[in-house]
Amino acid sequence: MRRKLAAGNWKMHGGAGDLAEIAALAAAHPSPVSEVLICPPATLISRMAEAAADTPVEVGGQDCHAETKGAHTGDVAAGMLAEAGARFVILGHSERRADHGESDADVHAKTRAAWDAGLTAVVCVGETLEEREAGRTLEIVGGQIDGSVPNGASPERLVVAYEPVWAIGTGKVPTLDQIGEVHGFIRAQLVDRFGAGAADGIRILYGGSVKPGNAAEIFGVADVDGALVGGASLKAADFGPIVTALDAAGA
């Protein structure tokens, strides 16, 4: 059985004043069925890890460099995230692929670095609207997984997040059939590549405009093992009900 994962991506939001959201989330969910993860900006990781100690909330980063150290101004190594208290790191988010030109090869190298530092990599894939309308969704997603995920993936090391680019921050969500089609495709691809033993345990999250109002139906789709949530993860009042819906799906 895969333990469900409710993951929040705070993107470039949040400061020290928002750490109270962690306490509120933990108070509302003292012993969740699901794993609960928040990925704040790098500046907040160590303080959030302190705030989340003795709670079920885990902390992650939003990116790392592929090298362990060096002359890379502004970058953060995976080992530094781990030392700050991160257990996970989001890699290859579409905003990084678009804003920083990250390729599948870059994400592949970063994922290796994350594994070497003992982190679980949350590798993001997803098609643009143009690609979906051209009927290329599975080709694009399949290619991204092939190129971004190194050999040696396991349930402890890898989470895949399917985030259609056109659904991020837009309020648009694919139909449940569309979500199910892509998640089933990703599962089959993981089985092909890593064998059923490993692939059956790897969580596949859906991301893109997940809200308290649509979470339960999305969590009812086969092979959806949780969510990667942007805007609705910033406030415990929004993220808490998403955790509750996921707990119900996983119970």
Q: Binding to ligand 13P (CB under 6 A): which residues in 58-77?
A: none
Encoding tokens for residue 184?
């089933």
Whether 163 sits among the annotated catalytic residues: the reply is: yes
Q: Which of 153, 160, 182, 210 binds ligand 13P (CB under 6 A)?
A: 210
Number of residues that bind ligand 13P (CB under 6 A): 14
Whether 139 sits among the annotated catalytic residues: the reply is: no
Find out whether 122 and 89 touch, Cβ atoms under 8 Å. Answer: yes
Given the DSSP bridges, would you call strands 88-91 and 120-125 parallel, antiparallel or unpaired?
Answer: parallel
Q: Binding to ligand 13P (CB under 6 A): which residues in 219-238?
A: 228-232
Map 13-48 to HEC letters.
CCCHHHHHHHHHHHHHCCCCCCEEEEECCHHHHHHH
Which range in 70-78, 110-118, 194-202, 207-215 contacts ligand 13P by CB under 6 A?
207-215
Closest contact distance (angstroms) between CB of 224 and ligand 13P is 14
CA distance between the termini of the chain: 11
Burial class (CB in 10 A: 0-12, 13-18, 19+), 12: exposed
Closer CB to ligand 13P, residue 163 or residue 223? Answer: 163
Q: Which of 93, 110, 157, 183 binds ligand 13P (CB under 6 A)?
A: 93
Closest of 221, 213, 189, 220 to residue 229, by C-alpha: 213
Closer CB to ligand 13P, residue 32 or residue 231? Answer: 231
Tell me if 179 contacts ligand 13P by CB under 6 A.
Answer: no
What does the angle CA 30 – CA 35 – CA 40 come to, to the nearest 5 degrees? 90
Which amino acids are annotated catalytic? Answer: 93, 163
Give me the residues that bind ligand 13P (CB under 6 A), please.
9, 93, 163, 168-169, 207-210, 228-232
